[in-house]
Amino acid sequence: MTGDQMVVRCEDAARTFGKGPAAVVAVHGATCRVDAGDRIAIAGPSGSGKSTLLHLMAALERPTRGQISWPGLPGAPANGTIGVVFQGPSLIPALNAIENTALPLVLTGMAEATAHRRAAHALGLLDATDLAHRLPEELSGGQAQRVAVARVLALGPRLVLADEPTGQLDRATGQHLIDVLLTAAEELGAALVVTTHDPAVAERLSRQWTMHEGRLTSDSALAPWPECRPAPRRKETP
Ligand code: ADP
Ligand code: MG
């Protein structure tokens, strides 16, 4: 695997929140990599550090120790090559679905008409064309998540990071959303990382990582991956 196929690399990356006795080590040194074409589930119970690890990969959080880099994504993380589907509702309530989808494009300076054309195309890929003029409050949870995926898709990212995208959905709707994410990743030629506490969701991805108490404890038995190792046990100094 050459460097330019490695979309994100975490080297002993850790994130601690707070200081002193109240400090919480959300992620102990995580050493892992995501390559172009990967479909990875990060599974683990609530509070195990999944969101924090995903936010580190998205550069939404800075590591308090170690390094995150994006060797295969020149210009990342600043240039829209990383798309994040957030846990829970993330659409702007006052904007309809197509305006929500177009907004990140408009914010990059794209002309509104062009942004709307791209947004319409992205909604179409997600079978959400008929939702285009609905406000978020007029969408079901599954429909809102599809629009949130369209918003990411419209940007054309090479790495899609989805944080518990099925967490608020019933099982059937959740499984459909995973279909949608897999199709979107294929369409974009993007790597996909999905956090979940649901084993039935995790097994839909081709690799499974597990987090426990802030540590990546295993990689997939189906696809052993020596470069994703459990963090060494060490005493943390917050
Ligand atoms: P998960 O996504 O697996 O539920 P998180 O990454 O959200 O886990 O959280 C891991 C740990 O870090 C938890 O103990 C959580 O309370 C703590 N944590 C996460 N974000 C913050 C924050 N911004 N401030 C303080 N503690 C946090
Ligand atoms: Mg979380």
pLDDT at residue 78 in the model: 79
pLDDT at residue 3 in the model: 52
Q: Whose CA is nearest to atom 15 of ligand 1?
A: 47
Distance between terminal CA atoms of the chain? 35
Q: What is the pLDDT of residues 126-147, one digit of tens each?
A: 889 999 999 999 999 889 989 9
Residues in the chain: 238
pLDDT at 87 over 80: yes
Lowest mean pLDDT among 26-35, 80-89, 146-155, 211-220: 211-220
**What is the atom index within ligand 1 of the atom nearest the CA of 163?**
2
Q: What is the distance between the alpha carbons of residues 68 and 66, in angstroms, rounded to a whole number?
A: 7
Q: What is the pLDDT of residues 208-236, one digit of tens each?
A: 999 999 999 865 333 334 444 444 444 54
pLDDT at residue 35 in the model: 93
Confidence band for 195, pLDDT divided at 50, 70 and 90: very high
Q: Whose CA is nearest to atom 10 of ligand 1?
A: 49
Lowest mean pLDDT among 35-44, 53-62, 165-174, 200-209: 165-174
> 133 or 88: which carries more pLDDT confidence?
133
CB-CB contact of 146 with 180 (8 Å): yes
Distance 220 CA to ligand 1 centre (A): 24
3-state DSSP percent of the chain in helix, strand and coil, to 5: 35, 25, 40
Average pLDDT, the chain: 88
Sorted by sequence, the CB contacts under 8 Å of residue 57 that are 6+ apart come out as 8, 10, 34, 68, 82, 159, 161, 193
Report residues near ion ligand 2: CB below 5 Å.
51
pLDDT at residue 233 in the model: 46
Q: Whose CA is nearest to atom 13 of ligand 1?
A: 47
The verdict on pTM exceeding 0.85 is: yes
Distance 25 CA to ligand 2 centre (A): 14
Distance 51 CA to ligand 2 centre (A): 4
- Mutate which of 15, 51, 55, 212 to test ligand 1's pocket (most atoms within 8 Å of Cβ)? 51
Confidence band for 77, pLDDT divided at 50, 70 and 90: confident
Q: Which among 180, 173, 195, 186 has a CA at the least distance from the CA of 52?
A: 195
**What is the atom index within ligand 1 of the atom nearest the CA of 48?**
3
Q: What is the distance between the alpha carbons of residues 217 and 215, in angstroms, rounded to a whole number?
A: 6
Q: What is the distance between the alpha carbons of residues 200 and 204, in angstroms, rounded to a whole number?
A: 7
